[in-house]
């Protein structure tokens, strides 16, 4: 067997309209061509957001646990501006700015409790951390 790539990462959601608002309006992702109700499953939706070379899928075809599971790391251009915008939008911040020698990141949750990492490679360290 030879694994070539990750096809997509899937997150379960309970409310499609609320999830679209979070991923589209708050995170600014575009759903593209795959955003529809499944023919064989009325009331169930599958939405894919292409992000760089990867894909994040959300769907209400399975229940979120809100416990633990995969975490997608979203690379941003401006960490501080992104975090300020998310805080202003009332997004749940699970772990605020964490700095390492190679990056900074924070953990947020979508409305269903799915974990999302906001990540910036080579992040400028806060002046008070030196």
Strands (E), the chain: 9-12, 35-37, 45-51, 54-59, 72-75, 92-99, 103-109, 115-121
Output the pLDDT for position 40. 86
Output the pLDDT for position 54. 87
| Sheet of 45-51, strands arranged across | 9-12, 54-59, 45-51, 35-37
Output the pLDDT for position 125. 60
Give the whole-angstrom CA distance, residue 4 versus residue 113: 30
Output the pLDDT for position 129. 38
Output the pLDDT for position 79. 94
Tokens of 45: 């939706």
Tokens of 77: 């251009």
For every one of its 130 residues, what pLDDT tens digit does the chain have, with 9 covering 90 and above?
A: 776 777 788 889 999 999 999 999 999 999 888 899 988 889 999 999 999 988 999 999 888 776 667 788 899 999 999 999 999 999 999 999 998 888 899 999 999 888 899 999 888 765 443 3
Q: Domains of the chain (ranges plus CATH)? A: 9-129 (3.10.180.10)
The structure's pTM equals 0.75
Residue 9 pairs in a beta bridge with 56
Name the H helices within the chain. Answer: 16-20, 79-88
Give the whole-angstrom CA distance, residue 58 versus residue 49: 8
């Amino acid at each position: 067997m030879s694994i070539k790539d990750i096809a997509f990462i899937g997150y379960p959601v309970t409310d499609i309209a609320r999830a679209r608002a979070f991923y589209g309006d708050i995170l600014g992702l575009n759903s593209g061509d795959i955003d529809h109700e499944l023919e064989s499953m009325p009331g169930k939706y599958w939405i894919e957001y292409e992000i760089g070379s990867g894909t994040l899928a959300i769907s209400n075809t399975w229940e979120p646990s809100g416990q633990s599971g995969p975490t997608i790391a979203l690379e941003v251009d401006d960490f501080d501006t992104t975090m300020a915008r998310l805080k202003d939008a009332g997004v749940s911040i699970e772990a605020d700015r964490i700095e390492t020698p190679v990056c900074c990141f924070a953990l947020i949750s979508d409305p269903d409790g799915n974990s999302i990492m906001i990540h910036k490679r080579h992040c400028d360290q806060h002046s008070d951390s030196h």
